Amino acid sequence: MPRPRKTIISLDDTPYYHCVARCVRRAFLCGVDHYSGNDYEHRRQWLEDKLHSTAAAFAIKLCAYAVMSNHYHVVLHVRIDLASEWSDRDVVTRWHSLFAGNLVSQRFLLGELLSDIQMKLLSKDIETWRARLCDISWYMRIVNEAVARKANEEDHCTGRFWEGRFKSQALLDDRALLACMAYVDLNPVRTSVSDSPEASDHACVKQRIDALEKNQPEKKTIESFVGSQAEKTGIPFRLTEYLELVDWTGRILRDDKRDAINDALPPILERLAFNEEAWKILTTKFEQQFKHWVGSANIVKQTYSDKCYQRIPSTANHKILFG
């Protein structure tokens, strides 16, 4: 029986989520449609731009993403700490960058004097908007609706563009986060869309590599790697370690490049107790191995218990792949 979305996406469990949205039937999000011969490659940029512009308004950072031919992946980090620092004006301004708001909020931004009743009503709206700007469902809704409208307009048709609501997986620990990010960033390599991570257009890993090569800061919408700096909020690994790991993994996913690399596991995998076979499965079949919650078997079992499951689903894959 399907679980309600609110029980799957719970910030009490984790702020990290892997989301996937797929096109309906044979509709093509991007690339060349082999059935009609139409080229939709330009839609990749539509989606990538919308992922960033929406994240700029939300208290959500992009950890990884990859825009494929008929679907896309994104790993999101919900930053409640950022939303709590916003002033009321910040919240209204951010909401107005996405929607028109209402007459009272528009007058508020113009600096007009509001009555006590109007301020009370606006305060309720601000509380609602602040919560929505931390909500993954609202984030995905805005991104998907915008792309669907543009695609339907271009195709001169109406109706569904996405096959349904997006799929989400909660990443419960650091190892699940690392494996999922690598899986997403290497999707173009695994499907032979590109030869290497640095050549993977419209993937987050290329954005990181380009910024590093140009000695420029990453986009503000992309979550930073903070390593072991406990005082900072971000991805708990070092960027250089991650890029080395992605490069190594990308090579083992390409049969023609296996002999070009050292057989030894990168230090980050040894530190997190991954073996090569488990890592290869995680970075090629991540979605198929797990349903809603991903992490070590003990953490997943505890999550099932907290969600009041009468029967705990099997955690065999979690135990095999995460130890």
pLDDT tens string 170-223: 999 999 999 999 999 999 988 888 888 888 889 999 999 999 999 998 999 999
Collapsing DSSP to helix, strand or coil, 307 comes out as coil
Which pLDDT value is given to residue 2? 56
Residue 2 in tokens:
């399907």
Categorize the per-residue pLDDT at 256 as very low, low, confident or very high, splitting at 50, 70 and 90.
low
Q: What are phi and psi of 291, to 5 degrees?
A: -100, -100
Distance, in Å, from the CA atom of 170 to the CA atom of 146, rounded to the nearest integer, reads 25
Quick one: average pLDDT of 126-143?
97
Burial 54-71 (b: 16+ CB within 10 A, else e): bbebbbbbbbbbbbbbbb
Looking only at the bridges linking them, the beta strands covering 293-294 and 167-171 are parallel
3-state helix, strand, coil in the chain (%, to 5): 50, 10, 40
Quick one: average pLDDT of 124-141?
97
Q: How does pLDDT run across 65-86, given as a tens digit for each residue?
A: 999 988 999 999 999 999 999 9
DSSP state of 220: T
Which pLDDT value is given to residue 273? 86
Strand partners, 250: none
Burial 190-216 (b: 16+ CB within 10 A, else e): beebbebbbebebbbbbbbbeeeeeee
Distance, in Å, from the CA atom of 314 to the CA atom of 124, rounded to the nearest integer, reads 43
CATH class of 9-79+135-322: alpha beta
Categorize the per-residue pLDDT at 260 as very low, low, confident or very high, splitting at 50, 70 and 90.
very low
Which pLDDT value is given to residue 128? 97
Distance, in Å, from the CA atom of 35 to the CA atom of 287, rounded to the nearest integer, reads 27
Quick one: average pLDDT of 50-76?
96
DSSP state of 297: H
CA distances from 287 to 87, 268, 303 (A): 38, 22, 19
Q: What percent of the chain has pLDDT over 90?
A: 54
Which pLDDT value is given to residue 258? 47
Sign of CA dihedral 7, 295, 136, 229: positive
- Segments of the chain assigned to CATH 3.30.70.1290: 9-79+135-322
Strand partners, 293: 170
- Do the Cβ atoms of 214 and 207 come closer than 8 Å? no
Q: How does pLDDT run across 9-27, given as a tens digit for each residue?
A: 778 889 999 999 999 866 7
Q: What is the pTM of this model?
A: 0.91
pLDDT of 236 over the 60 cut = yes
pLDDT of 263 over the 80 cut = no
